[in-house]
């Protein structure tokens, strides 16, 4: 580190601290055992979200929610709506509302990854989603991961990432510090990735040499012979993923009334009553267990897995989308027009 004599820059500092309280010791031991049992990682790909930096926060940033979309433009649209509603509901005067609406106008016409509004920096940020693997199995939830036991589908599943402070130099435990050092050189190298994706990934090791781990999330995957298929979205607790699996197995298409000249449903939409009954019984047995992480139904294997997200950090904070990160569509107007006084115009 000859380029940084003396104190290391914030985005290169990994501050490992030993915590002596019993909870931290148990969590540390659990993490160490899991990393040894699941020593390798499988990278799924990028996710995009929004972070903000307020006055006095630098070099820290704060997540505004989960990075839960695979396309940068979807995160830009989310930021567009976020700023529009701030202008509508929170602006204290015309000047603040104008600043917010100017940022909205840019997001409606340009694929920008950073805007400033009312004294706050907003950035579209990128993270790579991965799971740990050992002996051909993805890592299940850890015993020390926050969890609960409700099977009620209406149970809230609040984000653990919303409000998360991106602070590369914040104190972390020994295992997380070792994990982050091991992830410093993580890049896309497999031939299944296009050449420009691999080149951008390699370049990021230099432009954004630091890494931060976001809070883990949990998904249900279906294990295939040589791969896995995602069955559910991200959940903040393992139990949230378990509830989603039950819904996946038991939710049926609503019955439609018979109408004249109504076309026959395609095969994939038809309910196989025998299969539905098997799924219902399997779901019932699944919910009778406490915190189960595996289920086999008619030869199909479902696993609740622990998913991690790593964010690369550079001198100016978290990484933005890369040139090779693709979008399916471009920017557009998301919300109705609004003037400086907060008057909303609906329609043309």
Given this model, what pLDDT does residue 252 score?
Answer: 64
Given this model, what pLDDT does residue 264 score?
Answer: 61
Cα–Cα distance between 343 and 187 in angstroms, integer? 48
Given this model, what pLDDT does residue 2 score?
Answer: 45
155 and 331 Cβ atoms separated by less than 8 Å:
no
* pTM beyond 0.75, yes or no: yes
Name the E strands within 70-119.
114-117
Cα–Cα distance between 262 and 216 in angstroms, integer? 46
Nearest alpha-carbon partner for 114 in 254, 339, 314:
314
In this structure, is the dihedral angle defined by the CA atoms of residues 143, 145, 146 and 147, taken in order, positive or negative? negative
336-341: long-range contacts at Cβ-Cβ below 8 A with a sequence spacing of 24 or more? Answer: 338/84, 338/87, 338/88, 338/97, 338/101, 340/94, 340/97, 340/98, 340/101, 341/94, 341/97
pLDDT digits (tens, 9 = 90+) for 307-323: 999 999 999 999 999 99
Give the chain's length: 348
Given this model, what pLDDT does residue 292 score?
Answer: 97
Cα–Cα distance between 257 and 259 in angstroms, integer? 6
Low-confidence ranges of the chain (pLDDT < 70): 1-7, 252-271, 348
What is the phi/psi pair of residue 102, to 5°?
A: -65, -40
Cα–Cα distance between 205 and 195 in angstroms, integer? 16
Cα–Cα distance between 125 and 319 in angstroms, integer? 6
Q: What is the mean pLDDT of the chain?
A: 92
């Amino acid at each position: 580190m000859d380029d940084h004599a003396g104190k290391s820059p914030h985005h290169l500092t990994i501050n490992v601290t030993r915590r002596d309280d019993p909870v931290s010791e148990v969590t540390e031991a659990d993490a160490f055992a899991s990393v040894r049992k699941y020593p390798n990682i499988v990278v799924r790909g990028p996710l995009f979200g929004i972070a903000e930096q307020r006055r006095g926060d630098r070099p820290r940033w704060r997540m505004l929610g989960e990075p839960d979309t695979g396309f940068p433009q979807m995160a830009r649209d989310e930021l567009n709506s976020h700023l529009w509603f701030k202008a509508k509901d929170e602006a204290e005067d015309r000047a603040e509302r104008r600043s917010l609406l100017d940022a909205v106008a840019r997001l409606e016409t340009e694929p920008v990854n950073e805007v400033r509004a009312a004294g706050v920096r907003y950035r579209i940020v990128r993270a790579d989603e991965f799971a740990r693997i050992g002996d051909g199995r993805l890592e299940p939830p850890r015993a020390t991961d926050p969890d609960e036991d409700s099977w009620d589908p209406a149970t809230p599943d609040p984000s653990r990432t919303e409000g998360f402070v991106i602070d590369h130099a914040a104190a972390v435990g020994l295992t997380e510090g070792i994990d982050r050092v091991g992830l410093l050189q993580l890049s896309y190298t497999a031939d299944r990735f296009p050449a420009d994706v691999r080149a951008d990934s390699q370049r990021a090791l230099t432009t954004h040499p630091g890494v931060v781990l976001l809070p883990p999330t949990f998904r249900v995957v279906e294990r295939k012979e040589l791969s896995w298929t995602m069955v559910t979205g991200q959940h903040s607790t393992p139990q949230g993923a378990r509830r989603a699996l039950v819904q996946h197995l038991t939710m049926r298409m609503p019955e439609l009334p018979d109408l004249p000249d109504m076309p026959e449903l395609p095969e994939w939409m038809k309910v196989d009553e025998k299969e539905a009954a098997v799924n219902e019984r399997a779901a019932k047995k699944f919910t009778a267990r406490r915190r189960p992480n595996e289920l086999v139904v008619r030869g199909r294997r479902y696993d609740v897995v622990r998913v991690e997200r790593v964010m690369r950090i550079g001198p100016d904070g978290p990484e933005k989308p890369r040139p090779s990160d693709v979008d399916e569509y471009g920017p557009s107007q998301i919300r109705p027009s609004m003037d400086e006084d907060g008057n909303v115009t609906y329609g043309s």
